[in-house]
Structure 1
Amino acid sequence: MTDFARPLLRSLCGAALALALALPAAAGEQPYFSWNGDPRVPECEAMSVQGAVIGHIAGADPVYSGGLKIREMHRITETGYKVDQPSPYARRYCEARAQMSDGRERRVYYAIMEHSGFVGVSWNLQACVAGVDPWRVYDANCRTVRPY
């Protein structure tokens, strides 16, 4: 590659990355970056959040989770929203009913956290399915991802 082509390729890659980050994930959704202002984190019902919860649970070690996966989420509600308590970053706490791969319905709790995404640019979450935390990673009854 010539010395002229390298800077041009870097510029094109940077522009493509910026464009990809600026485009919505799906039609009707907006990207959630910290410099956009309100809302600081997406709503509990957002499809991008539901997908992240399902992916988070699916990514758990099968030994830990018993191989359970979420098939569908419904009855989604926000249970809390905190800013400056104690962190300056926003946290939205949510609860939903999840239809699991074993046919049972279980409660799923999740916390959406500002500045927790890749290099702190966007949001991320932690999720816990009640009754499927044998090592108490999220404390008893998913307490660490709940607002109480």
Structure 2
Amino acid sequence: MRFISTLKTPVAAVAALLGLFALAPTAQAANPLEMNFWLSGPRYDGNLPPCEAALPSITHQFAEKEGNFWNSDLRITAYAKIRDVAFRPWQSDNIPRRFCAADALLNDGKTHPVYFSIIEDGGLAGFVDGVEFCVVGVDRNWAFNPVCKAAKP
């Protein structure tokens, strides 16, 4: 009997606590006055420049990365076979991207494929279009490994 009397107090406390949860109102979504309805999220227009517009940025970023991080004089001197690979390959409500490919001629005389994407509002603080790129065979930090696959759609 003594066991039952000591058990009654914790059981009663748990039952009372569960009863309070059962009586609580269900969770509701915030009403419109509580939500930041004027900040409804980014509005993308999907107007991205053609692939050729990203080439000067790629040339500059490649030279800067090779010189500053890898102590290399390797530079991109020319591009060939510039082509559009995909535009917004995922759902239309994702950040608009234009995926492109080209062949880059480096100053060592070798030609390497380069895969890049132009990202709407993907630049500094979201004010300009951003560019991500990968030169096959020169992705030294393996950011887009294997063989620049992560730079493709």
State TM-score, norm by structure 2: 0.63
- The question of 1:118 aligning with 2:124 is answered yes
Question: In the superposition, relative to structure 1, how do residues 72 and 65 fare at CA in structure 2: closer, same or farther (>3 Å)?
Answer: farther
- The question of 1:130 aligning with 2:136 is answered yes
Greater relative contact order, per chain length (Cα 8 Å cut-off, separation 6+): 1
The alpha carbon displacement at 1:134 in A equals: 2.8
Tell me the distance in 1 between the aligned counterparts of 2:49 and 2:78.
Answer: 19
Q: Write the mapping of 1:53-92 to structure 2, written as runs, cut at 5 A.
A: 53-62=58-67, 64=70, 66-82=72-88, 85=91, 88-92=94-98
Spell out structure 1 runs of 4+ moving beyond 4 A: none
Q: Write the mapping of 1:1-148 to structure 2, written as runs, cut at 5 A.
A: 37-39=45-47, 41-46=48-53, 49-62=54-67, 64=70, 66-82=72-88, 85=91, 88-147=94-153
**Secondary structure at the counterpart of residue 60 of structure 1:** helix
Note the alpha carbon deviations across 1:52-86, whole angstroms, 9 max, x for none.
11112112144548432100112100111116548
Amino acid in the other structure paired with 1:146:
K
Counterpart in the other structure of 1:19:
none
Contact 1:91 1:113 in 2 (8 A): yes
Q: What stretches of structure 1 of length at least 5 have no aligned partner? A: 1-33
**Secondary structure at the counterpart of residue 109 of structure 1:** strand
What is the percentage of aligned positions where both structures have the same residue? 26
Q: What stretches of structure 2 of length at least 5 have no aligned partner? A: 1-41
Counterpart in the other structure of 2:24:
none
State TM-score, norm by structure 1: 0.65
**Secondary structure at the counterpart of residue 99 of structure 2:** strand
CA RMSD of aligned residues (A): 2.5
| The 10-residue stretch of structure 1 (114-123 or 82-91) with the greater mean CA deviation from structure 2 | 82-91
Tell me the distance in 2 between the aligned counterparts of 1:87 and 1:144.
Answer: 21
Contact 2:46 2:96 in 1 (8 A): no
Note the alpha carbon deviations across 1:89-126, whole angstroms, 9 max, x for none.
10111100111010111111111111112221220111
**Secondary structure at the counterpart of residue 147 of structure 2:** helix
Larger Rg: 2
Amino acid in the other structure paired with 1:51:
P
**Secondary structure at the counterpart of residue 52 of structure 1:** helix
